[in-house]
Amino acid sequence: MTARAWVIMNPGGVRRVVVTKELPGKRWLQLLTAADCRVEIAQGDEVLSRAELQEAIGERCDAAIGQLTESWSAETLGALTAAGALIYSQYAVGYDNVDVAAATRLGLPVGNTPGVLTETTAQLAVALTFAAARRLAEGDRMMRAGEYHGWLPGMLLGSLLYRGTLGIVGAGRIGAAYARMMVEGHKMDLLYYDVRANVELEAYVADYSAFLLAHGERPVTCRRAETLVGLLRACDVVSIHAALTEKTQHLIGGPELAAMKEEAVLVNASRGRLVDEAALAAHCRTHPRFRAGLDVYEDEPAMAPGLAELDNLVLVPHLGSATTFTREGMATLAAANVVAILEGWPVWHAVAGLEDVAPFLDGPESPHAAPSIVNADDLGLPRLAGQAPTKEDQQ
């Protein structure tokens, strides 16, 4: 091991599991120790380097639970399998830091934690939306600086989003949850841009629209945008929920920002590299009525030069899943993935939302299954009886 401090739980356990950060809650650790695992937990806030990860893995390791901030490259995953590991489990729903193709070639299952953080992350995107639109961060700074000297008619005027047009870029689980919150709560018309039509979301909005009509109110609309630029031009709010790929890096850059309305609000609680931060800083500097709320950044924890000095930006430190329930639930799912693969249990059915993973979180005993293995079908892993193999949407 390195000079980094490690805590060892259940030192007499037969199976060795490396955990690269202290995780919230107790259930995850109970699951591992009940499966006769010796659990070695890295201490400290620093991100483990590739060298530290490989040193931690050592010559014998049965499984690892890692973080989105770490680089699980082909080399590191190779070291993990060489040490005898049967699974790498990610403490996150996203896994763009993991070379899944390499893991599949190595025969190594890769776990993640969908479902439990859908509503929480969508809720954070809503919070960013209104913090930016109503200029809450500016008001907070004014109060703390003692600069509020009384109510004025023109002070910190923001945007009323009620009955406006909402744009979603990426209508997967989190994007759809955010859309429902905004459409239901603020009666906004919805445009979404995605490679696939989300017929469930369209049906949901249609049902809500019928409800409004039945109560004598104007209905709302939902349609899939043909182009990203078309969506950007039409919307008062644009929230990004796309997956990060080579094609979607800098999906929102200078030309896309220029297409947006003068007083539009841009929200990113997905992946930092989806937005060209330098272009965003330049746009916000020259368009003071444009506002944005960011939870993620291109080069976390660093931000692009100039972002921090701009009043029309709300900046928070990757809080999307930061509720006690969600972070503890993520730990439970990550551990349940490990236990299931070590025990030779099948994979759970495709996860669409919280209700699908609730049995792992709420019951006295977790199901004998892995909650989510992203490469399960490619590896030919068995699923629960009656569950057909399904390519899961890991958005």
Do both 232 and 95 map to the same domain? no
Tally Cβ neighbours within 10 Å of residue 367: 16
Residue 390 lies in a domain: no
Torsion of CA 270, 273, 276, 277, to 10 degrees: 80
Active site annotation includes 300:
yes
In the prediction, which pLDDT does 327 show? 97
Residue 58 lies in a domain: yes
Do both 153 and 58 map to the same domain? no
d(CA 269, CA 260) in angstroms, rounded, equals 19
Do both 345 and 244 map to the same domain? no
Q: What is the DSSP string of 51-68?
A: HHHHHHH-S--SEEEE-T
Active site annotation includes 289:
no
User: pLDDT-derived band of residue 390, with 50, 70 and 90 as boundaries?
Assistant: very low
Do both 81 and 165 map to the same domain? no
**pLDDT score of 394 more than 80:** no
Kindly report, residue by residue over 163-217, the tens digit of the pLDDT: 999 999 999 999 999 999 999 999 999 999 999 999 999 999 999 999 999 999 9
Do both 251 and 163 map to the same domain? yes
Do both 181 and 276 map to the same domain? yes
Contacts made by residues 148-155, CB under 8 angstroms, sequence distance 24+: none
Share of the chain above pLDDT 90, in %: 92
Residue 191 lies in a domain: yes
**Token pair recorded at residue 288:** 């003071």
Which of 214, 168, 205, 167 has the alpha carbon at shortest distance from 187? Answer: 205
Kindly report, residue by residue over 239-285, the tens digit of the pLDDT: 999 999 999 999 999 999 999 999 999 999 999 999 999 999 999 99
> Is the C-alpha dihedral spanning 166, 169, 171, 173 positive or negative?
negative
C-alpha distances in Å from residue 257, one per residue of 287, 296, 324, 367: 10, 18, 35, 46
- Given 315, 336, 358, the domain boundary residue is 315
**Token pair recorded at residue 102:** 């390499």
Do both 327 and 291 map to the same domain? no
Residue 384 lies in a domain: no
In the prediction, which pLDDT does 388 show? 47
Domain count of the fold of the chain: 2
Tally Cβ neighbours within 10 Å of residue 380: 9
Do both 250 and 331 map to the same domain? no
For the segment 355-363, the average pLDDT, to the nearest whole number, is 90
Average pLDDT, the chain: 95
List the domain range (segments joined by +) for residue 101.
6-116+323-379
Kindly report, residue by residue over 74-83, the tens digit of the pLDDT: 999 999 999 9
Do both 93 and 12 map to the same domain? yes
Do both 293 and 350 map to the same domain? no
**Token pair recorded at residue 339:** 């236990």
Active site annotation includes 318:
yes
User: pLDDT-derived band of residue 387, with 50, 70 and 90 as boundaries?
Assistant: low
Q: Which of 173, 271, 327, 383 is catalytic?
A: 271
For the segment 386-394, the average pLDDT, to the nearest whole number, is 45
- Given 315, 334, 367, the domain boundary residue is 315
Do both 330 and 297 map to the same domain? no
Share of the chain above pLDDT 70, in %: 97
Any idea what the CATH number is for the domain that residue 80 is in? 3.40.50.720
Which of 86, 79, 67, 68 has the alpha carbon at shortest distance from 22? Answer: 67
Q: Which of 55, 75, 263, 300 is catalytic?
A: 300
Do both 245 and 150 map to the same domain? yes
Place of tokens 């830091």: 97
**pLDDT score of 393 more than 80:** no
Residue 395 lies in a domain: no
- Given 296, 315, 334, the domain boundary residue is 315
Whole-model pTM? Answer: 0.91
Residue 1 lies in a domain: no
Q: Which of 27, 180, 287, 318 is catalytic?
A: 318
> Is the C-alpha dihedral spanning 62, 26, 371, 65 positive or negative?
negative
Residue 298 lies in a domain: yes
